[in-house]
Structure formats: C-alpha cells, structure tokens
Amino acid sequence: MSKEYDREFEKKFQETTRLGLEVVKESEEDRLMTLSVGPQHPGSGHFRFTIKVDGDYIVYCDPDPGYVHRGEEKMSEYRNFIQNIPHLERPVIHDSTNITYSYSLAVEELLGVEVPRRGQFIRAIASELNRQVYTLYWLAIYGIFLGHSTMFMWPAGDRELFIDLLTALSGARVTHAYNIPGGVRNDAPDGFKEKCLQYVKYFEKRLVEYEDIFYNNPLFRQRTENVGVLTKEDAINLGVTGSVLRASGIPHDIRKVEPYDVYDEIDFKVQYMKTCDSFARAYVPFLDMRESCNIIKQLLDKMPDSGEVRLKLQSNPKGQPGESYKRVESGRGALGYYIVSDGSPKPYRVKISVGSFRNILALPHLLVGSKLGDMPSIYWALNYWPVEADR
Amino acid sequence: MAPSIIKKKKTATGFIKAIESGSKHLLLKRFTLRFPEQKLKFVGDGYQFDPKRGVGIAGARGRHILFHEKCTGCQLCAITCEGIAEAIGMVKITEKWKQNKKGIMPQIDYGKCVFCGLCVDACPFYALFMTNDFELSSFTKEHLIYTPAQLAVKPKYDGSVDIKIDKRGAWHG
Amino acid sequence: MATAPKEFRFGNFVASIVWLVFWILVIVTLVVLPLIFVILFFVPLPYAGDEVLTPYLFFSMMVDPTRTVPIIDFLIHTDLFRAAIFPGFAYAAIIAAATIYIERKFLAKMQLRTGPLYAGRFEGILQLIADGFKLISKEVIIPSGADKPLFWATPVIFVATAAAATALIPVAPGWVASNLDVGILAIFAILGFFPLLALLFSWASNSKYPFIGGLRALHQLIAFEIPFILSALPIVLLSGSLNLSEMVESQYLFWFFAVAPISAFVFYISSLAELERVPFDLPEAESEIVAGWLTETSGMIYGLIQLGTYVKLYVLAALFVVLFLGGWMGPQIFPQELIPNYTGEKIYNATVVNGIFWFTLKTFGMIMLILLPRGINPRIRIDILLHTGWYKLIVLAFINIFIVLTLIYGGIITPGGLQ
Amino acid sequence: MMSSNISKNPENDHKINQSSQKNNHNQTNLKDLDPNNSNNFIDQNLNLENSIYSEISSKFTNKVKLKYSKFKRIKIYVEPEDIVEVAEFLKTNIGFDHAESVCGTDYPDDNSIEVIYHLSSYSREDLSPIIFALSTKTSRDNSRLPSLIRVFNSVEYHERETFEMLGVYFEGHPRNERFLLPEDWADIPPLRKDFQIKGR
C-alpha cells in the first residue's frame, strides 16, 4: 500500500514544482490526525469513539457505541417476568441488584403486589452493597486510566469485601439474580449483620487512605481540576444523570427525590459538588461511597429481625394490562424501566433507560477543545459503562 | 452535605501525605487469596429452595445436585431454563423409580448454565438443589454435560479460608 | 497432555548419549584446544613468579594454589574485565535484574498484593529467569510497514548506550572502566542518545500510536536535559574537576548533598523523567496511546529495551550517589587483612571492598527512592510536564548554583573540598 | 409496623390490594382507552399532577388527551403535528427540562407505532419526582415524526436509537442513521413485532 501512495505523491510533487507553483500546500484536513479510540483500546472498554487530533488538541469526537449490543429489550419480550431476571442483569453484572431493582419494582406495580417489609430492607442493603462494588470497580479503572497503579489495586482489593458479603447473601459473586419481582430470593444467612457491620467499619477507615494517596495527590489534582467543565445549564440541557449531574451542582438523587421501598425511612444527605469539573465528577462517587456506608448501617439496625422476605407468587404471574415506569438510583444515575404489559405472562414491551446512555451525550461536548492527555480523565469520569449503554 | 470547597492542598503536604500513606501500607498484611492453596469458605452447603414457603435458603450457587429418590421427571426445571439458557435437557434413565413414571431426569450442560438457580426455585419436589463446588473445568465441551448420575454425586469442597480483619488490615486467613 | 514418544526404547537413549560424548571429545581436542593456544599466544602473558606465564605453565598451575592468585590478580586488573564484568556491564546487569525483582515485590507490597510468588521455591525468586526465557522464546513480530533494519537495530543500540554509560561510573577507588578527565560530560553525552533512539524506534514502527509516543519521548527528554545538566554544575564547582573519581574523592569530609540539596532534588526529578518513570511515563502511557513508542515491540525486542531501561536506572542512581552522596566514601568496616599477618600474595584490599560495599548500599537506597513514585503518583499531562521541566526545575537548578557560588567565593568552601 | 400482607393461601395473593397510598394502582386497560372521556382517570388526591394537567389542557384545549394520571406519573397523548408546540410549552412554562428516555412501541393490530417521551425536571425541586409521558402515534408503514431535538437536545441519541430500532424517521434530527446495530444490518428494524428471533 505504501508503494502506490509514494508514487502518487511523487507525481503530484514534481508537477507542482515543475510548473513553478509552491510545493504541495497542506490542506486543513491533512493537518488533523484521526484516531480511533476503538473497541480494542486499553483506554475505552468495548466502546469506540473517533477523535480528530490537531497536535495535542481534540477538535472532533464522534462516539460509536453498539459493539456489545445484545438486544435486551427484544429478548425480554420472549420471556416471562421471572425468566427475564438473569439476562436483564447482564448489561452491568457488578451492579446487578440495582439494574434489576427497578425492573422488579415496575413488575410489582403491574402485578399489583407489595414486597414484605424485611424483604424490602434486605433488597435495599443488597443494592447499597452492590453500589459500593460498582463504584469501587469504577474507581479502580479510573486510577489505572490516570496511570496510578496503586489506585487500581486498593479499590479492587477492597471490592472483595463487599463481593464476599453479597456471595453470603445471594450465593453468586457477581451475577446475583437476587432481586426478583416479589422480593428477594432468600433470607440473609445468620451472622450476616455482624459481618456486614465489621466490613463496613473497616472500609470506612480504608476510604481515608484513598483520599490521602489519590484525591489529595497534587498530580491527580493537576490532571482533573477544571478539566472538562460541564456547567449546570449544560448538565440540565444534556440530561445527564447520577454523579455527573451531582458534580455540576444539582443535588438530584432518586433515592431522595422519589424514595422507593424503604429509602424514605433512611435519613441521608445527597452528596453533590459545585465545581462541575472532572475532579468533582471523580470525588462525588467517593462521597457517595462514604454516605452509603452510613446508609447500610442505618438499614441494618432498622431491619426487622424476622418476617417473610418474598411474596409467594403464582409460578407464571400475569400482569394487568397497562404500563408502569419505575426508576432507581444505580451506580451510574437514574435507571428506569418502562414496561407495557398486555395481560399475558410475557411483557409486551420493556424499555430500559440507563444512566450511561444518557451520560455519553456529554462526551463530545466535553472532549472537543480539550487535550489528548485529558481524554481518559474526562471519558471515565462520565461514569460510562459500555455494555450497559448498548443493552 | 453542602459542597465543601476542598481547600487547595499545598503540593508539598500532598506528596508527603501520599508517601506516608503509601509506605504505611508496607506494614499491612497482604490481601491476596492464593487460590489453589487457600479456598474460600461458603455459607452452608449450597443454595436450596423450600417450595412450600416459597423462599430460598442462603447458600453458594455452585454445581447442582439431583436427588434421584425425589425427582418425578415433571420437566419444570427444563421449562424454566428454556427461557434463560436452555442448559437443562431431560434424558431417559435406566433405573425404575416409582415416583418417576416417565423415567426421565434433568441433564445439565454447564457450558450453557449461568448458575442463576431459577431451576431450583421451580422444582416443587425438593429434588434439585445447588452445592458450593464451582471447579467444573474440563478439556472438551462434551465433558461439561453432567448426566443425572453425575449430578447425584455429592461433591467434596473443603474451602476453609475467609476474610479476617484486625489492626494490621484485612487478609485471607 | 504430554504424550510419550511413539516407540521409546532404552537402547536408543543410551546410543544417543554415547554418540554425544564421542562428538564432544573430538571437537574439544581438535578445535577448542588449538583455539586456546592461539588466543594465549596473542594475549600479553604476565610473569608468574620469575618466568613468563606460558600456556603449559598456566595449565600446570591450575593445581598449585600459590600461583593462581597472581593470575587472577592480573586478570582482574585487565581493561576487558573492568569494562565487561565488574564496574561495567555485568555488575550493572545483575543490579538491574535485582531492581526488576525488587520493584515488583516492593510495588506489590505497597498495593497489598503478593507480586511474583510461584516462580522460585521462595517468593518467586526465579521470576526473572522465567521472564527471560519467555521473552527469548516469544516470536519477534515486525510490523509490515516497518523499516526493518532500524526496527531491530535500535533496541540493540539502546542497550549498548546504557552499557556505555556504566563504563564511566567509579565504583571503588581505582575501579572504573575508563577514568576520563571529562567523565561527567561523557555521561551526559551518552545520556543524550536516548531521546534520539526513542524517536528512531517509534518512527521505524510506522504506526500512529508509537509516533505520538515517540514525539512525546522527544519532548520530555529534551525538556529535562537542561535541568539535568544544570543540577550537576554545582558539584563540578565544588569538586573543581570534571573527573568523576575526583568528585568522589573531594567528598571525603562531607557529602555534597549537604551543600546542594536543591540540585539533588532537581537531579532526582530529571532522572525520573529521563527514565520515563510513573509521574513522567507519558511516552508509553497505556490509557492514552496504547503503549506509546513500545507499542510495536514484542519478544526479545521488548526484552532488550527493558534491560536497557533498567541498566539506565542503575546508571542514574549510581550517578546520583557519585555526585551527591559521596560515592564509595564511608566508615571503614572491613578488617585490614582477613587472616592476621598473612604474607603471601593476596587480592583482598580492605579499602576497595569497603568502597564497593558502601557504593552498592547507597545505590540500592537510591534505587528504592526512584521506585517509590511509581506506587504513589498518577501520570501527569504533557503540558504540565513541559511546564515543570522548562520553568520550575531550571529555576531551582539556578538557585542552587548561586548558593554554591556564594559559598565558594565567600571563602567558606574552596574547590576540592573544605580546606 | 405495616402488617405484611402475606397469607398462606395463594389465590388472593395477586388480588389488587388497594391498601397503601404509596403505590395505588388504578390500572387502565390498554385496549379500551377512550381518549375523549378524560375525567375517569383523575385521582382526587393527586393535586400536583392534576394542576399540571389542568394547566396544559387550559392552553391546548382539544389537542391534548389525558391517558392516565397516577402517583407521580402523567401520560398525555398529542397528535404529531403539534407535539413540538406542546413540548416547548412544557419546557418553558411548566419546567420539564430534559427527557429521561424515548420509547417506541409497536402495535401491529391497530397499525401504529407509539413514541413516548418520558420527561422530568431537574431545575424545579417539586417537579423532579414526576415523570411526564408525552406520547404520539404514527402509522407503521410510513412512520415519520417531528423531532424534539430543538426543544430537548438530550433526546439526540434516544431518537437515533428509536429510528434504528423501529424505523421511525424523525424530521429535523441531524443524524437519522445506524447507531447501535452492526453496520451490515440488512433486516427490518428489530423492535418491530414482525421481526422474529430465530428459534423462538
């Protein structure tokens, strides 16, 4: 390939000099180098976005998701309400209790049933633990994106604590399939409460270490402060959600705005920051983790000691015709399910509105004009999980 | 909390705190679970389901165990799995069981199974539970298909390690 | 599943062994021995006792211990030995290998994990050898559009330049491969090769990400070359000479670190940048440009570049020790002679061994200090890097030069150490 | 402590229990939605939702038909021609400033594709729990809709996905093209009911 290119360039080159014109002028397009931060890149996960780079500045960015699109919505139309759970948690398996949480809520509204109180508590605890697992995994990847290998190892290690708790609770490390329309699959094993309190207390001490070595590290501050600024109006206009929104100064958390299950009995403060830059988007999930610790403690001691955890539904429950839209605060923001049911045991239409798909709209907006070195800190601070966005 | 404007840390103290925090970790114990020598201890001996009360009993979701004396060949587990992973197929068995007129029992293909445990939820006769044995690797895909006879064998899993936490950090002890 | 060879018979096995022994004997007598005689003919032979050391005398002395000591003494002091083995490349390579192992274990411990564990019986001690075999056995993939000769030559030159730098480091009194009068200039000249090599290699691999990585390497190493050299200037002023050995000797009273701490800090930061260690590892920033200028390396080419990088790490650590921490100066802790009142020939020389001990101790201390930032710092952006390089470090370097100048012309310290 | 309504006999379990105010479910049957009779779905005790609906219906008297108004959920049906106008009104006067999701549903039996914009609000505190469903219908064979990208530009990727999955062409949308599906996808839009998954 390079041989023809040279000959053709040679011809053009001689032609111009022979006619006395000045040498081949560099057109605007040639100066930009198109880089595909592609599906096979340590810096992007299964997601590709093409950027045009002029020297070190990014001048154009076009996200192109869809490399791991499984057609979850089409698949759910062929399965009944319970069979949908294992495949609906696949988009983000390490936040699996949250992603099936709003599905279960929506289906419960369609079935017109309500989960017993202890079940609601265990479901809330499992979803808080799962939020910790997701945020730690996200923080680990954020650390290695900025070249801070210790910041990859510590969160990945501490994540094992919460995975251990969830394994004791649901039986599986990551793909729990624990959240079922009608409650949770099984009751918490005995001794779970003390073990959970012990781990959470230890984890709170670990959070102080993260702050020392990562968040207050001047080099990290230099790389993320006022990088990729998403002002409050832009955030509202682009409709971003979750930590990206709370980092731009809007205290909007579904657990506080539209409390579901038992969250109205828990008093916690919505963590948000006003500095709207990449540092805020990195620090808000950290504050959320700390807040989650005390939520878990409150849930644990408010939980009734005995009682049913799951409704005994008919084996193939039929939903009333109608539709319901329920949303939950997942690791990446508001995660909503819009389910239309036509009276048969299979849902007529399931629409999943995930946080990642809404946050990625901010990527071109933020990347254009920033430097190539900022690309990892902006892209991963958007809390984007490719598999979830593609569904 | 109101957005605390984190005061601009001077670079020197930032570095010193980072070095101090990093070197503090040189004294903590190592957290890695050295898998073949140490194996994790699970709660109970596998996930079970009580159809009368309609709720499961906590346990690890590893390989299935089939109690031949209880299985009636009603294919409920196969029908449930058909919507999820099509991992369960019913096969003829040689011995005669009085409660299993058709003489068919589930055969699970672990190349497809996603270990969600919904088949255990669907079984009304306490016949199919899960154990906490998860080491099922094999050289060919055919060996991943467990016949009912293989499923009846109770696996031996001797995990004895769990996470211990004390002053010197957390480790797998 | 390793299956046994088709028809394994013990007879064939014994036959192959005998056949092997036969060929070894034939080759040794017909080829190797004459070769030794030819070599020994040209090599200037020493005087063992009173007569000239001929090959026959040499072989006969193998059994007579009193005569072997002068031969070893002679061999040790030849230039080949100095350049290739002790203060030269082999010593540096061993320390580099030890550094790789220590770095993986040190980093692992800081990150609460175990690091290499299964390679050797005890805590993965043979991990280095395992990696070496892996790299050797891996196929070297040269990309299609690559400029082939340049592609495989650059790693070899990379290691060669790193080795050349080790020849100038004075490890013990008198023990330096080449005792140049302009030692410090020679080292900076050699270290100036590395940006060129990085660009050459990334240009030869003819693909986008290495190209960006190569440009970044060029920017970074150029930006940190000036503070690097400026930070060595106060030491030259203090010791009054460019010769590294004299620099060390002039620190017999106090280490120059005490007088020039700021330039020591600047030297440390610039050496981190020269080595492309974490705060400054932009040329191979995985998350932005895949692996920078190392993207197309594979197999032994990667192995060579890694060896070159870690030998360069030893060189820079040793240079810091020579300039700021008083090279081999240290309290005499080795006894004057091992065996009391032993009169015969001996190789053991207390000051040399003591010098080697202190030099190696300080170098390993310095290497640990260079390894530390990788555990605690993220990578910085290219414009912050250039800003620190051009503005902050040069200013700091100048500050220290003025301090040293005021000290000298204030009469407090005269060149050649405190009078 | 709320009495857990577990009863041993299974048959009354999935009976609709009107017990708690928190999630009352006056379901409306999808089939017999008679658009003109709008007052049989208003619940007396949902004042905020009703006030919004009354504001809208006062402005667009006959263009807006209320589908249901449940606990924190309102759904109205608007004809495709004046959806942009209603959307602008919602955004400026009432304060719904972004779209959570755009969902297209295919109804082959009455030959229509229903596209619903789930709007919510960040700027107004009291409105943020409410999801306002703005729905329109287009025919299945020649499905074209005016795009709301000028009003809510958070719908850009949602509309693009709906185009790809259901074949609804959004006029005014800059890039009605392939988004999630592979480049060489030659089949009909997959979320339509007549696209069958093989082997099911």
The pLDDT tens digits for B49-80 are 988 888 888 889 999 999 999 999 899 999 99
Give me the pLDDT at residue C367, please: 94
CB contact under 8 A, C114 and B19: no
CB contact under 8 A, B116 and A198: no
Give me the pLDDT at residue A136, please: 94
Which residues in chain A touch residue B22, judged by CB atoms under 8 angstroms apart? 150, 213
Could you give phi then psi for residue A211, rounded to 5 degrees?
-65, -40
d(CA C308, CA C166): 11
How far B94 CA lies from chain A's nearest CA (Å)?
A: 31
User: CB distance from C77 to chain B under 8 Å?
Assistant: no
d(CA A63, CA A48): 6
d(CA D57, CA D41): 15
CB contact under 8 A, B23 and C110: yes
Q: What is the mean pLDDT of chain B?
A: 87
* Closest-approach residue (CA) in chain B for C375: B22
- List subunits contacting chain B, requiring 3 or more Cβ pairs under 8 Å: A, C
Question: Which has the closest alpha carbon to D110: A48, A342, C192?
Answer: A342
In a domain, A38, yes or no: no
- Percent of chain C with pLDDT strictly greater than 90: 25
CB contact under 8 A, D179 and A65: yes
How far A354 CA lies from chain B's nearest CA (Å)?
A: 22
D95 or C343, which is more confident? D95
* Closest-approach residue (CA) in chain B for A149: B22
DSSP designation for D75: E
Nearest to D180 among A114, A235, A390 (CB): A390
Q: What is the mean pLDDT of chain A?
A: 87
CB contact under 8 A, A239 and D129: no
Strand order in the sheet with A333-341: A322-330, A333-341, A349-353
Give me the pLDDT at residue B1, please: 41
How far C92 CA lies from chain B's nearest CA (Å)?
A: 27
User: CB distance from A186 to chain B under 8 Å?
Assistant: yes
Contact D26, D73 (CB under 8 A): no
Predicted ipTM beyond 0.90: no
CB contact under 8 A, D15 and A112: yes
Give me the pLDDT at residue C417, please: 52
Q: Which residues contact A326 (CB under 8 A, 6 or more apart)?
A: A102, A105, A106, A109, A260, A336, A337
pLDDT at C165 over 80: yes
- List subunits contacting chain D, requiring 3 or more Cβ pairs under 8 Å: A
List the structure tokens of D170.
Answer: 């959004």
- Radius of gyration over alpha carbons of chain B, in Å? 24
CATH number at residue A240: 1.10.645.10
Give me the pLDDT at residue A327, please: 92
Domain that holds residue A187: 72-390
| Rounded mean pLDDT, A228-252 | 90
Give me the pLDDT at residue C1, please: 44
CB contact under 8 A, C111 and B19: no
Q: Which residues contact A84 (CB under 8 A, 6 or more apart)?
A: A76, A103, A347, A350
pLDDT in tens, A145-156: 888 888 999 999
In a domain, A120, yes or no: yes
Confidence of residue C251 (pLDDT cuts 50, 70, 90): confident
* Closest-approach residue (CA) in chain C for B23: C110
In a domain, A37, yes or no: no
Confidence of residue C317 (pLDDT cuts 50, 70, 90): very high
Give me the pLDDT at residue C119, please: 82
pLDDT at A195 over 90: yes
CB contact under 8 A, D154 and A311: no
d(CA C349, CA C332): 12
- Radius of gyration over alpha carbons of chain C, in Å? 26
Would you state the torsion angle of the CA atoms of residues B91, B93, B97, B98, taken in this order, to the nearest 10 degrees?
Answer: 50
| Rounded mean pLDDT, B154-160 | 86
pLDDT at C327 over 90: no
Q: Which amino acid is at C365?
A: G
Which residue is listed with tokens 């690890």? B60
Question: Which has the closest alpha carbon to A317: B82, D13, B81, B119?
Answer: D13
pLDDT in tens, C12-68: 889 999 999 999 999 988 988 888 878 777 777 666 667 776 767 777 766 776 767
Contact C371, C103 (CB under 8 A): yes
pLDDT at A384 over 50: yes
How far C71 CA lies from chain B's nearest CA (Å)?
A: 47
Which residues in chain A touch residue C279, judged by CB atoms under 8 angstroms apart? 219
How far A333 CA lies from chain C's nearest CA (Å)?
A: 25
Q: b/e string for A335-365 if b means 16 or more Cβ within 10 A? A: bbbbbbbbeebbbbbbbbbbbbbbbbbbbeb
Mutate to test the interface with B, among A72, A179, A185 (most CBs of B within 10 A): A185
Contact A124, A262 (CB under 8 A): yes
Contact B8, A275 (CB under 8 A): no
List the structure tokens of C237.
Answer: 């002023």
Confidence of residue B8 (pLDDT cuts 50, 70, 90): low
CB contact under 8 A, A198 and B165: yes
What is residue B161's three-state secondary structure? strand
pLDDT at A26 over 80: no
d(CA A366, CA A382): 10
How far D11 CA lies from chain A's nearest CA (Å)?
A: 8
pLDDT in tens, C345-372: 777 888 889 999 999 999 999 999 999 9
List the structure tokens of D175.
Answer: 């890039």
Positive or negative, the Cα torsion across D175, D180, D185, D188?
Answer: negative
Q: How much is the pTM?
A: 0.86
Confidence of residue D10 (pLDDT cuts 50, 70, 90): very low
DSSP designation for C6: T
Domain extents for chain C? Answer: 143-335+345-418
D71 or C7, which is more confident? D71
d(CA C33, CA C28): 6
pLDDT at D41 over 70: no
Q: Which of residues 151-210 of A touch D (CB under 8 A)?
A: none
Confidence of residue A13 (pLDDT cuts 50, 70, 90): low
d(CA C147, CA C205): 7
Confidence of residue A139 (pLDDT cuts 50, 70, 90): very high
Among A28-42, B75-89, D109-123, D156-170, whose mean pLDDT is lowest?
A28-42
Give me the pLDDT at residue C286, please: 65
pLDDT at D6 over 50: no
- Percent of chain D with pLDDT strictly greater than 90: 20
Q: Which residues pair with A294 in a beta bridge?
A: none
| Rounded mean pLDDT, A156-160 | 91
Question: Which has the closest alpha carbon to B80: D197, A85, A343?
Answer: A85
CB contact under 8 A, A217 and C377: yes
Among A146-155, B100-109, C273-282, whose mean pLDDT is lowest?
C273-282
Give me the pLDDT at residue A283, please: 93
pLDDT in tens, A67-104: 889 889 999 998 889 899 999 999 988 889 999 999 99
List the structure tokens of B167.
Answer: 């002053």
Give me the pLDDT at residue C250, please: 86
| Rounded mean pLDDT, B84-95 | 90
| Rounded mean pLDDT, A350-376 | 89
Q: b/e string for D84-98 if b means 16 or more Cβ within 10 A? A: bebbebbbeebbbbb
Question: Which has the closest alpha carbon to A180: A304, A317, A374?
Answer: A317
Confidence of residue D200 (pLDDT cuts 50, 70, 90): low
Q: b/e string for A46-73 if b means 16 or more Cβ within 10 A? A: bbbbebbbeebebeebebbbbbbbebbb
pLDDT at D165 over 50: yes
Give me the pLDDT at residue A18, please: 55
Q: Which residues contact C337 (CB under 8 A, 6 or more apart)?
A: C346, C348, C350
pLDDT at D182 over 90: no
Question: Which has the closest alpha carbon to A169: A189, A195, A190?
Answer: A189
CB contact under 8 A, D27 and A321: yes
- Percent of chain C with pLDDT strictly greater than 70: 92
Between vectors from CA C228 to CA C225 and to CA C234, what angle results, nearest 5°? 140
pLDDT in tens, C167-219: 899 998 888 888 888 989 999 999 988 888 888 888 888 887 788 888 888 88
Which residues in chain A touch residue B63, judged by CB atoms under 8 angstroms apart? none
CB contact under 8 A, A169 and B58: yes
Q: Which residues contact A280 (CB under 8 A, 6 or more apart)?
A: A247, A248, A273, A274
CB contact under 8 A, A336 and D105: no
Could you give phi then psi for residue A338, rounded to 5 degrees?
-115, 110
Confidence of residue D29 (pLDDT cuts 50, 70, 90): very low
d(CA C129, CA A62): 46
Nearest to C288 among A1, A153, A375 (CB): A375
How many domains does chain A fold into?
Answer: 1
Which residues in chain A touch residue B162, judged by CB atoms under 8 angstroms apart? 164
Q: What Å distances lie between residue C163 and C102, C129, C156, CA to CA? A: 21, 20, 11
User: CB distance from C114 to chain B under 8 Å?
Assistant: yes
Would you state the torsion angle of the CA atoms of residues C299, C303, C305, C307, taken in this order, to the nearest 10 degrees?
Answer: 180
B88 membership: H or E segment, kind and range:
strand B88-92
pLDDT at C268 over 60: yes
User: CB distance from A381 to chain C under 8 Å?
Assistant: no
Contact C202, C210 (CB under 8 A): yes
Q: Which residues contact A118 (CB under 8 A, 6 or more apart)?
A: A187, A303, A304, A306, A307, A308, A309, D4
How far D101 CA lies from chain A's nearest CA (Å)?
A: 6
User: CB distance from A218 to chain B under 8 Å?
Assistant: yes
Contact A177, A110 (CB under 8 A): no
Contact D173, D197 (CB under 8 A): no
Give me the pLDDT at residue A16, please: 54
User: CB distance from C196 to chain B under 8 Å?
Assistant: no
C309 or C124, which is more confident? C309
Q: What is the mean pLDDT of chain D?
A: 77
Mutate to test the interface with B, among A115, A192, A213, A252 (most CBs of B within 10 A): A213
User: CB distance from C392 to chain B under 8 Å?
Assistant: no
d(CA C327, CA C317): 11
Which residues in chain A touch residue C287, judged by CB atoms under 8 angstroms apart? 42-43, 144-147, 376
Outline where DSSP puts E strands in chain A: 33-37, 48-54, 57-64, 179-180, 183-184, 322-330, 333-341, 349-353
Contact A188, C417 (CB under 8 A): no
Burial (0-12, 13-18, 19+ Cβ within 10 Å), C133: exposed
Confidence of residue C402 (pLDDT cuts 50, 70, 90): very high
List the structure tokens of C321.
Answer: 């020790």
Q: Which of residues 41-100 of A touch D (CB under 8 A)?
A: 65-66, 69, 71, 73-75, 78
Contact A245, A291 (CB under 8 A): no
d(CA A54, CA A34): 9
d(CA B49, CA B117): 9
- Superfamily classification of domain D46-200: NADH:ubiquinone oxidoreductase Nqo5 subunit (3.30.460.80)
List the structure tokens of D81.
Answer: 């021609």
d(CA A138, CA A388): 14
